[in-house]
Structure 1
Amino acid sequence: MTQKSIAGRPSLVVAVALGLFESALASPSAMAGECPKDQVAADAMAPGATTPEGVTDEVLASIDLSSKGGDWKGNALRLRKLVVQPGGVVPWHAHDARPANILILEGTITEYRSSCKVPIEHKAGEVTAEFGNLAHWWKNNGKEPAVLYSADILPPMADNADTM
């Protein structure tokens, strides 16, 4: 794998990897916020906000997976940076066709998940997987911007409104 440096800085991949390694050393038991077992239920939370507010979504890299053939045709693997300002919202969306891993790099953010009766708080250094029968939305209820990195597989013909 090739690495890029911009203006003498290590690549984003290296920086993120070092940050994850540092987080793991600082708090080896840190795991993404999870729904308490007694709060898990199907259709536990109604859909929330449907439009983005106070959030920037920047695609940092994208790989067309079509060359892999078969079911990969038209799919893309992408890495995005989302910055959610205090009070900002990542709108309600589903992950049945778009798996993702989210790294919370800075700040905190609250997830309102279809399969959990209570909101889930995510903190800097945590990673959460989004896959399968999951729909949710996020809100920054904190006082500082939340910085998230999202690695996802974008299905063919995906509408940008459904890709946050």
Structure 2
Amino acid sequence: MADNKQEQETRPTIEYQAVKNYEVQMDATAEQLKSMGVNDVADSVAKMKRGLDNGIPQFLHVIGVKAATTARETERSMVGHGRSGYVPSGNLMRSITSYDRDLATQVYPNAIASDGKTEYGGFVEDGTRKHPIPEPYMGNADKAMVDEINKQLASLSETVNGGAK
């Protein structure tokens, strides 16, 4: 358990997740509309719900892949270059990947130090005693994703609403 805690503390992670808090309300709305005889609108609500159910995992996957690309580009452009004393080999950049699970996607590096067991991405992100200047490549990548997330949300919304704006 201690190893897992240390791993979590030293692994900088970007995570995006969704909560399906719309299902109950949308089902209730569709049922109420059906009971009132407004079947076409009830069907539209059910179609929107299916669109969200199908679109949210795809949305998370797309932003996870784009966040990993952004993090790799950010790492390459800012890490090293004489600021912290860390000399990049490219392993950290190449190790940044996105991982989908349930209604979430995570992006993090898996670079292992020469000892074969220490993940060092967090040490670069946060700095160390030996290299005290943090180089928050993951934090900066997360901040850089705001416009892309908004763009992808707009696309999901348009898809779910059948092209209506």
Q: Which has the larger radius of gyration?
A: 2
Instruction: State if a TM-score over 0.5 links the two structures.
Output: no
TM-score w.r.t. structure 1 length? 0.23
Query: So what's the TM-score if we normalise by structure 2?
Result: 0.23
Q: Give the structure with the larger helix fraction.
A: 2
Please identify which structure carries the higher strand content: 1
